[in-house]
Amino acid sequence: MASENFEGKKVKKAAVLALCYPDIHFKTNLLLIKRKAVKGDVHSAQIGFPGGSVEENDSSLMHTAIREAEEEVGIQKKGIDKILKLSQLYIPPSNFLVHPFLALSQQKPEFKIQEEEVDSILEIPLTYFLEDKNICSHKISNSYLTEVDFPAFNYENHIIWGATAMMLGEIRSLIKQII
């Protein structure tokens, strides 16, 4: 696994793919996944984007994001039309520096879930994340924080918080600048 120094810390590198694509009614959906519940994994059962660790054979961070999305949910590189690099984000609990990419596809991918890592796929209308009323707060406690409120989204009883909510905030901001 590749690592780099970030603000004086040796961190692991990862990349994720935020894929937008049309549904059967030509409305834009955004793909999220629910990770499998795995004992000892700090991201166990969380909602996030498909993605993962940089591997030795990856030619770029974008390659990592696409490779991981293909492995986890079957997204094919040839189905992706445009890609925009978003802001990197450090995740303290797992010591990952995550590089997100926003991707567009002209058609809905044929999903194939990697059952070892992915519990389910969430296809959420992009407009859901643009509405202020859908932003909520999520209270967490862990080994270094006690009862802290984080911005979040609650979509059909799936709490989307943390790094994923922060990435969604950037996507939301970019879209609001052009509409």
| Residue ranges covered by each domain of the chain | 3-128
Q: Would you say the pTM of this structure is higher than 0.95?
A: no
| Ranges of residues in the chain whose predicted pLDDT is under 50 | none
Judge contact between 107 and 123, C-beta under 8 A.
Answer: no
CA distance 52 to 30: 18
Element (H, E) at 159: strand 158-160
pLDDT of residue 45: 76
Element (H, E) at 137: strand 135-140
CA distance 102 to 65: 10
Beta sheet of 135-140, edge-to-edge order: 135-140, 148-155, 158-160
Compute the CA torsion angle 140, 95, 50, 20 (nearest 10 deg). Answer: 80
Q: Which CATH number is 3-128 given?
A: 3.90.79.10
Structure tokens at 171: 């996507």
pLDDT of residue 134: 93
pLDDT of residue 73: 98
CA distance 33 to 121: 5
Q: Is 54 exposed, middle or buried (0-12, 13-18, 19+ CB in 10 A)?
A: buried
pLDDT of residue 100: 98
pLDDT of residue 149: 73
